[in-house]
Amino acid sequence: MLIRKAFRFRLREQPAQAREYARTAGCCRFVWNKALALQQRYYRLFGKHLGYNKLATRLPRWKRRHTFLTEAPSQALQQTLKDLDTAWVRFFKEPGQVGPPRFKGRDAHAAFRLPQSVELDAGNARVRLAKLGWVRLRLSRDVLGQIKNATVSRHQGQWFVSLQTEYASDVVSRTCTAVGVDVGAVRTASATDGQLLVLEARLAKQAARIRYLQRCLSRKQKGSRRRQRAKSKLAAVHARLARIRNDAVHKLSRSLVDAHAVVCLEDLQVAAMTTAGGSRKARLNSRILAAGWGALRLQTAYKAVWGGGAVVAVDPAYTSQRCNACGHIERANRVSQSIFRCVACGHTAHADENAALNIRERGVKELLRAGSLARAPGDAGAEGQYIVLRPSSHVESADVGRLKKREPTEALRKAA
């Protein structure tokens, strides 16, 4: 199968090069705003947008009128128009879910993409960008495949390059065990093989720092330099928090995929879960969003498919109330956030571990029914070996009306 993968590295640019990248990103922003203004007028008159081809014919005229645009690579400006066209197409195809494109201010995310003339010199740890020349980078890993495009972006005053490559990989079906993963607000992820991820403790220091900096920011006068410095400090802590969460989720997903051929997750509608409840569960909502449930699901899905495994997202209804030993479902089984005690058979376990076993059992049944999985010869039961017949990722979004997972009242009290 053909795999498209991105490799992101930090650039070691000189001050002159950094100014050149900022100038190029500014030109792309100018073209975006100018084309968007034209499209908005066209949309008000005719109810539709101008396509990429019609906008691209105006680009030479804009260059003659605004000569500074000639300093930027033409490909970067063309890619900006393509991104704008894609944004309008999504707006028309997904009404109510995706809003129309918006103008970009000077403090917007600075980035531009180059689809051609990108050359990597791994021996000297440098990359050549079209019209921008060679620049050194921190080559922390090997780059696989043929480079298809490069995206240069700025984050917290530092420039990065993302090289998207394409290469062929022979995906071999695996014979291995299955694992179920339960996610929650207290224990971020609990797996049936004993792996545990608790992000709240890792992020507590950064969260406290964020609250302090937000109070400092609120006291600064709008438009002042001190407010700008306070915003930069706050953004730096947010970026560090995101890196910590990303690192933890990447390591857990890689560990799950390497150890198991089948990974079973919950099909949770995070957006629906965090919009209900109002101020009563605002703290719980923020903890759910900070846990990175969606990132874990996404990263596990593509890693499993590339490795010849399978991922399935199951209906989360009653996974926290069902006894894995006898199958009895009752709300009283969930004594508290951490204790599960079946009122029918007396089975006792950690609530998250019991839910993970239910998720694994449900996921294996779905894959067997779909024909993506088969039991290995001589093995039976949820603890047995399985053969992945068709590497796949069954993690499509479920209906919004599906029953959603509910955290017990103890979690609500702790989060309040």
What is the per-residue pLDDT across 257-297, written as a single tens digit (0 to 9) for each? 998 988 999 988 887 777 766 666 777 778 888 888 889 99
pTM over 0.95: no
Residue 235 domain-assigned? no
What are the tens digits of pLDDT across the range 334-383? Answer: 988 889 999 999 999 999 999 999 999 999 888 888 888 888 776 555 46
Q: State the catalytic residues.
A: 182, 266, 352
Give the confidence band of 410 by pLDDT, cuts at 50, 70, 90.
very low
Q: How many distinct structural domains can be found in the chain?
A: 2
Q: Which domain holds residue 107?
A: 2-168
Same structural domain for residues 146 and 193? Answer: no
Same structural domain for residues 190 and 137? Answer: no
Same structural domain for residues 116 and 265? Answer: no
Residue 228 domain-assigned? no
SS (H, E, C) the chain: CEEEEEEEEEECCCHHHHHHHHHHHHHHHHHHHHHHHHHHHHHHHHCCCCCHHHHHCCHHHHHHHCHHHHHCCHHHHHHHHHHHHHHHHHHHHCCCCCCCCCCCCCCCCCEEEECCCCEEEHHHCEEEECCCEEEEECCCCCCCCEEEEEEEEEECCEEEEEEEEEEECCCCCCEECEEEEEECCCCCEEECCCCEECHHHHHHHHHHHHHHHHHHHHCCCCCCHHHHHHHHHHHHHHHHHHHHHHHHHHHHHHHHHHHCCEEEEECCCHHHHHHCCHHHHHHHHHHHHHHCHHHHHHHHHHHHHHCCCEEEEECCCCCCCECCCCCCECHHHECCCCEEECCCCCCEEEHHHHHHHHHHHHHHHHHHHHCCEEECCCCCCCCCCEEECCCEEECCCCCCCCCCCCCCHHHHHHHC
Same structural domain for residues 326 and 383? Answer: yes
Residue 205 domain-assigned? no
Same structural domain for residues 186 and 126? Answer: no
Residue 51 domain-assigned? yes
What are the tens digits of pLDDT across the range 47-69? Answer: 887 889 999 999 999 999 999 99
Residue 240 domain-assigned? no
Same structural domain for residues 92 and 180? Answer: no
Same structural domain for residues 158 and 265? Answer: no
